[in-house]
Structure 1
Amino acid sequence: MARSWLPDSLNDLLEYHLSMYNFHVGLDSEHPYMSKPIGWLVQWRPTSFYWKGSEELLGTDCGSDRCIQAITSIGNIPIWWAAVPALVFVIAVLMISRRDWRVWVPLIGYIGLYLPWFIYSDRTIFTFYTVAFAPCVVLVLVLALGAVSGMLTPVPGSAAAREEERLLEEGRVGPGLPYPRGAVAAYFGFGMRANRTPLPAAWTGVPPWRLRGEGLAVVAVVLVLAVVFAAAWWPIWTGRTVPYTFWHWHMWLNSWV
């Protein structure tokens, strides 16, 4: 008997977990909603959890002669799509350039809960597995938006914090002065003048002079789009009875059907 040196109880427990692992990594049966991990971050192939067609809903009043009920796993697209460039920004700017240790909190989620699925990309797997690291997606987006808007302050004692203290002492930043931008923002003309519409520090947690108008605009756009998307997609997240045309209008990509 394999591992006969182990007590029977531990041997049984280990064998039980090995059999589960071998079953799941070897599962390769075709499924219409299976998807590859490469498309998960853009929600390329969401999973349909529930569908009740017009034949089953005859006589139901939904304002149309063809009613359906559907539940799909598609995430909030403005958040997921914005989080892709945010991930690139967080890695390139915050992690590599600024060496901000805070980014490792969400990145560990990507590394531990997302990347391993590429090892099993031939297995029958689905987009809804992203629910495990969805908080990390949101945290990456929050860090990126906080950085571009000026609401993410440097880590105390870091090189960025010391540089900001030096600029304050030299009078190059502070109330009434524009906050320095990077090369890309400067190329587009941002930071030529001080922020004329500062938000109270009680709202943002940072002095108004740190805020960047273009970054605040990006935050506002992402927030508004996310709220609008959530309101528009709520009926097909929750299985409400809706006209077929309403559901079809929400299927932006053929891969969502």
Structure 2
Amino acid sequence: MGPLLVAAMAGVIRFWHLGRPRAVIFDETFYAKDAWSLLRLGYEGTWPDRKIADPQLLADPQVISLSDTGTFVAHPPTGKWVIALGEWMFGLTPFGWRFMTAALGTLSVLMLCRVGRRLFRSTFLGCLAGALLAVDGLHVVMSRTALLDLVVMFFVLAAFGCLLIDRDHARARLAAALPVGADGRPRPDEHAADHTGTGPRPWRLAAGVFLGLAASTKWNGLYVLVFFTALTVLWDVGSRRVAGSRRPYLAVLNKGLGWSLLSLVPVAVLTYLATWTGWFLSDDGYGRHWADGRGGTWSWIPAPLRSLWHYEHAVYEFNVGLHTPHKYQSNPWSWLVQGRPVLFDYQSPKPGQDGCRTAVDCSQTVLALGTPLLWWSACGALAYLLFRWALRRDWRAGAILCGVGAGYLPWFLYQDRTIFSFYAVVFVPYLCLAVAMTVGAMLGPPGSDLRRRTLGAVAAGTLVLLIVWNFIWFFPLYTGVTIPYADWHARMWLDTWI
């Protein structure tokens, strides 16, 4: 019941006045329209100029002509198909194109509660991690906006959860093959550790599917695939070592590496290709027939696959070459401290509207800003986890750090590119896990003396309450609530937030 209650709270926050602001905010102008095009054509068609089309879209989407001429897009289709599901149910409206991201945002809170429960073996810490995600401002804003990064976060978290379950099942299978000692517990045995097979691993297959869906939403999912594949191999090595193997890497190579690679990388690639089905079945998708009739070294590969490769290469060149200056772009060094949030929407309500006397009296804002105290606490928590992983060999800390690194570190390769801090939503769940694990350390083990537990509970409770208060304080900036201009300015704690 705990995870369900936390998820219900998250759902209320994310679905409350979801259609507000009634506007096409930030990059919704691309993804909401591409999603509608996928519903109608199976691929991304051509819309009129977005500056002209956006007001018409809100007034009457039927008056905007969608051409069946394929257009060049910078991201794969899965995330837009997810958005399209909401539009199919509720129409081409702000509520419709935001519905599925709000739903996935809510479900991700539920998943994180269960992931934390399995990771820490504590229902309290699992629910705490989910509750922290529920009150993170960046996660709330991305859940209430039809952008792709929240969808990537959902699929990556689902893959992480599947890999945790797979780890538990694989270790249980290996433990069952070990001889039992006089105390009734399994004891290490080199032969069993080296020769016990892993058997079918359906949860690892599921993780491969989810990682393929993440990569087919935005390409940064490919980096997560690399990180998580390495993580699972190291988990398998660790289990063989604990079971008694003197050469655990060789044992994994002989008995488990096939499942590690075949169930993640090839499955992810096949999933990625499957998400392009609409484009493959079309005749007018962008670049669909580029390879038709072309010879050359690679002519033995089917023309549709070569056409897709050519298209994807063009997309790669576009993405790595995107250097157009933007007012709200930021360097990844500043993301953890929320140095430069992104303003998605800002409006000054008309006089007489929402109790505003003049046009400059009030502000209505959607700011992609993480709950500051949560993020600043996470910086300290990550330092603690580095200590636990490097010096205490705590696998839980390593798993969380891997999740953070997979979503964060690759962006340092593109510091000269135009990038934004809201990309960090992909690794927000792992920051919440880091803070929850640190809170668990503050509380101390169950057998600690009463004074130690009391002081830890006071410190941990104070931290959590301050984070919740901080979220409530910034809540109007996350949801487009109209507030006096003075109240908006009071929430601009750093000059870089303006």
TM-score (norm 2): 0.39
Cα pair 1:62 1:241 within 8 Å, conserved: no
Cα pair 1:106 1:139 within 8 Å, conserved: yes
TM-score (norm 1): 0.73
Cα pair 1:43 1:127 within 8 Å, conserved: yes
Residues 2 and 12 (structure 1 numbering): CA distance in 2 closer, same or farther, change over 3 Å? farther
1:36-89 deviations in whole A, cap 9, x for unaligned?
000001111000000012xx5222244664111101011111110000011011
Query: What secondary structure is seen at the aligned counterpart in 1 of 2:365?
Result: strand
The match for 1:102 is 396
The match for 1:208 is none
1:9 Cα shift?
1.3
The match for 2:492 is 251
RMSD: 1.8
Amino acid in structure 2 at the alignment position of 1:51: Y
The match for 1:195 is 450
Residue 456 of structure 2 is aligned to residue 215 of structure 1:
yes
Q: Alignment partner for residue 225 of structure 1, among 466, 470, 492? A: 466
Cα pair 2:385 2:398 within 8 Å, conserved: no
Cα pair 1:60 1:67 within 8 Å, conserved: no
Residue 314 of structure 2 is aligned to residue 19 of structure 1:
yes
Q: Alignment partner for residue 85 of structure 1, among 367, 370, 380? A: 380
1:215 Cα shift?
2.6
What are structure 2's unaligned runs of at least 5 residues?
1-295
What are structure 1's unaligned runs of at least 5 residues?
154-173, 180-193, 197-210
Percent identity, please. Answer: 38
Query: What secondary structure is seen at the aligned counterpart in 2 of 1:6?
Result: coil
Q: Distance in 2 between matches of 1:78 and 1:43?
A: 10
Residue 374 of structure 2 is aligned to residue 119 of structure 1:
no
1:17-54 deviations in whole A, cap 9, x for unaligned?
2221221111000000000000001111000000012x
Amino acid in structure 2 at the alignment position of 1:30: P
- Pairwise mapping of residues 1-257 of structure 1 onto structure 2 (< 5 A)? 1=296, 3-53=298-348, 56-62=349-355, 65=358, 66-92=361-387, 94-151=388-445, 174=447, 179=448, 194-196=449-451, 212-257=453-498
Cα pair 1:27 1:124 within 8 Å, conserved: yes
Q: Distance in 1 between matches of 2:374 and 2:459?
A: 12
Select the structure that is richer in helix.
2
Query: What secondary structure is seen at the aligned counterpart in 2 of 1:125?
Result: coil
Cα pair 2:332 2:421 within 8 Å, conserved: yes
Amino acid in structure 2 at the alignment position of 1:18: H
Amino acid in structure 2 at the alignment position of 1:59: G
May I ask how many residue pairs the two structures share in their alignment?
A: 201
1:110 Cα shift?
1.6
